[in-house]
Amino acid sequence: MDPYDTGGMGGTPVMRNAMPNDKSDRVEYGFTAGKTLWVPGGWNAQKPELSFYEGTIWYRQYFDIEKVQQGKRYFIYVGAANYIATVSCNGKRLGKHEGGFTPFCYEITNCIRDNGNFVIIGVNNSRGADYIPSKVADWFNHGGITREVKVVEVPATFINNYFIALDKATLHDKTKKIDVALEISGAKRPDKARIVIPELKINQEVAVNATGAIKFTVSAKNLQLWSPENPKLYTVTIEAGDDRISDEIGFRTIETKGKQILLNGNPVFLKGICLHDENPLRGDRANSVDDAKLVLGWAKELGCNFIRLAHYPHQENIVRLADKMGILLWEEIPLYWGIQWGNPEVLKKAKAQFSELIYRDYNRASSIIWSIANETAPIPDRNRFLAELADYVRSIDPTRLLSAACKKDQELDGHPDSVYTYNDPIMEKLDIISLNEYLGWYGGLPNECRNKSFKMGLDKPVIVSEFGGGALQGLHGDSLTRWTEEFQDYLYKESIGMFDKIDGLAGMTPWILADFMSPLRQLPGIQDGWNRKGLISEKGFKKKAFYTLQRYYLSK
C-alpha cells in the first residue's frame, strides 16, 4: 500500500524490487512482507482493510520466458487497471497509462532475461477533477488491475492492428466486399501479407508498402450476415512475415434511415437493458467468461437483443460472448456528468480512451453504437469538446453509429410541460438521439407519465437510454410505497406506456439489469451502498418489474 503515492522514499523506489542484503540493511519499501492480491480483480473486494481504499498499491509478479528468442519482441499487456498504472520490468520504468477501462501494453524486449524477470505495476485509483470520469460518479471506484495481465511474444515483424468490416455499399450485392486495413510493425517489413477466410473460399495475397499500413478489399460470395437471429462468425486468418493471427469475425451493416435503425438493411427495434461491468454476486468488477455468461444469460432471459454497456468500456469477454450469442451492444467511455470540458488535456484523454476502445472492439459485430457522453449539461465548452470528439471517433471508425445519453430541454425546471422537447446542440453530430428520463422517480409520480409526450428537434431514431427506479428485492407494499417492488413495477408499466408513444422509438435500455455498488447510495436498510434500480438483486433474485419488461419485449 502507498496511500501517499510516493513510490518509495529516500531514493529506494519500489520498482527496484530491493531486498535486504544482510540483517542491518534498511529496505523499507519492497515486497518482502507484502500481501497477496488476485489479478485480475479489484482490490476493494479482496481484503476488508481495502474495502474503501483509494490510493496506490504496488503489484509485483515474477515470470520466466525460459528462452528469450533472438529477433522476437516481447510486451507486457494489461487488460485494464483503474485508474493510473505505472509499469516497470526488471527495475526499468516503461511508462504510465491513464484510464481505468481500456487495454494497454509496453515493450519489454530490451530488459528481459530467460528467467527470474519481475514486473512491478503501481495502480492509483484516486479520483481526479481532470480525469475521465471525474470525481463523482454513481458507481463504485473499484481499484487495481481489474483485468488480466499477459506477456506477449511476437516475431520481429508483426501484425500490430487489423480492421475488418463489410462494405455497407455492397450489402445488397450477390458478391459482397470486405474492407481490410492492416498495420504491420517491425524494422524489416514483409513485401506481402495474406488474408484467409476458408468458409468463403478467400485466400488473397496483398503487397505491403513501406509504411506497413495497407488497405484493400476482398470479394465474398454466399456470405452469411451476422445478426441476433443468426450470429454467424467466420474464422479469419491474417499472415504477414512470420506472424499469423486468427480471429472469429461476424459481418453485418448498421446504419440509420430517417427514424429507423437498419441492421443489414432491415429495421431493428433494440430491446435492451443497461449494465455495469460488475458481478453483483461477488461485489467486484466482472473479469471472466463466467461473469459474462451470468449477465448475458440474464439479459437473454429478459428478452433482450441489445445491451448498453454503461458507463465505460466493459471487459472484452462480454463483447466476444455477445458476438457469439447475437446480442447488439452500445459502448461508451465515461464522459459522465461534470467533466473539465475546457481543459485540452482532458480532450486528449478522451481521444486516447476512445481509440483504445475502438482498437480493441473494431472487429466485433455485436458492437454497433459508440456513445460519447452521459447526462452532460449543454454548455459551450462541452458542446465544442463533444463535437470534436464525435469527428475524431468517426475518423477512426466510420462504420458504427454515434449517440449520447442526453436530457430534455426542461431538465432544470422539473416536469412542468406535457411535451418534453429535445434540442441539445450535440444531437446534430449524432446518428441516434438518446434520452435519459426518470419522471416518476426523480420528480413526479408514475401516474403523471401517461399525459407526457415527446418532441425531437431532429428526424433521427430515438433510444430511451435510461429510465427506472429503485426497489429493495423482497420489500412489498402498495404501488405508491417507495422502494417496494410494486412501486418499481408500477413505474415500469407507466414509463413503458409513455415511451412507447415516441415517434421514431427505435429501442430502449432501462436502468438497470442488476443492483450495483455505489458510494452515492447509502440509505440504511434499503441501499446500504447499493444502487437498487436493478431488475435483479445483488443476490441474483428477480424483482416484479423484470417480468413486466420481459412481457413488453416478448410483445415487440
Binding residues (CB under 6 A) for ligand GCU: these are 138, 311, 374-375, 436, 466, 511, 531, 533
* Residue with smallest beta-carbon separation from ligand GCU: 138
Integer Cα distance of 331 and 101 in angstroms? 12
In the complex with ligand GCU, the residue whose CB is nearer, 323 or 424, is 424
- Residue 174 CB, shortest distance to ligand GCU, in Å, is 45
- Residue 391 CB, shortest distance to ligand GCU, in Å, is 24
- Lateral strand order in the sheet of 254-257: 254-257, 260-263, 266-267
In the complex with ligand GCU, the residue whose CB is nearer, 138 or 323, is 138
Integer Cα distance of 316 and 291 in angstroms? 11
- Lateral strand order in the sheet of 149-154: 104-107, 73-78, 149-154
- What φ, ψ does residue 80 adopt, rounded to 5°? -175, 145
Integer Cα distance of 331 and 17 in angstroms? 39
Number of other CB atoms surrounding residue 306 within 10 Å: 26
In the complex with ligand GCU, the residue whose CB is nearer, 441 or 490, is 441
In the complex with ligand GCU, the residue whose CB is nearer, 17 or 436, is 436
* SS3 state of residue 90: coil
- Residue 172 CB, shortest distance to ligand GCU, in Å, is 38
- Residue 216 CB, shortest distance to ligand GCU, in Å, is 42
- Residue 458 CB, shortest distance to ligand GCU, in Å, is 22
In the complex with ligand GCU, the residue whose CB is nearer, 138 or 397, is 138
- Lateral strand order in the sheet of 117-124: 56-63, 117-124, 84-89, 92-98
C-alpha cell at 173: 450485392
- Residue 361 CB, shortest distance to ligand GCU, in Å, is 21
- What φ, ψ does residue 79 adopt, rounded to 5°? -65, -35
Q: Name the nearest CA neighbour of 195 among 147, 225, 152, 162.
A: 162
Q: Name the nearest CA neighbour of 282 among 100, 118, 468, 146.
A: 146
In the complex with ligand GCU, the residue whose CB is nearer, 180 or 310, is 310
C-alpha cell at 415: 416536469
In the complex with ligand GCU, the residue whose CB is nearer, 466 or 494, is 466
Burial track 223-251 (b if 16+ CB lie within 10 A, e otherwise) = bebbbbeebbbbebebbbbebeeeeebbb
Integer Cα distance of 49 and 5 in angstroms? 18
Distance (Å) of CA 146 to CA 43, 76, 78, 103 = 8, 15, 9, 11
- Residue 402 CB, shortest distance to ligand GCU, in Å, is 18
- Residue 311 CB, shortest distance to ligand GCU, in Å, is 6
In the complex with ligand GCU, the residue whose CB is nearer, 142 or 168, is 142
In the complex with ligand GCU, the residue whose CB is nearer, 86 or 436, is 436
- Residue 333 CB, shortest distance to ligand GCU, in Å, is 14
Is 491:497 a contact under the CB 8 Å cutoff?
no
Integer Cα distance of 492 and 431 in angstroms? 27
Q: Name the nearest CA neighbour of 134 among 342, 364, 438.
A: 342
- Residue 516 CB, shortest distance to ligand GCU, in Å, is 8
In the complex with ligand GCU, the residue whose CB is nearer, 17 or 465, is 465
In the complex with ligand GCU, the residue whose CB is nearer, 374 or 548, is 374
Is 205:182 a contact under the CB 8 Å cutoff?
no
- Residue 327 CB, shortest distance to ligand GCU, in Å, is 21
C-alpha cell at 323: 458476438
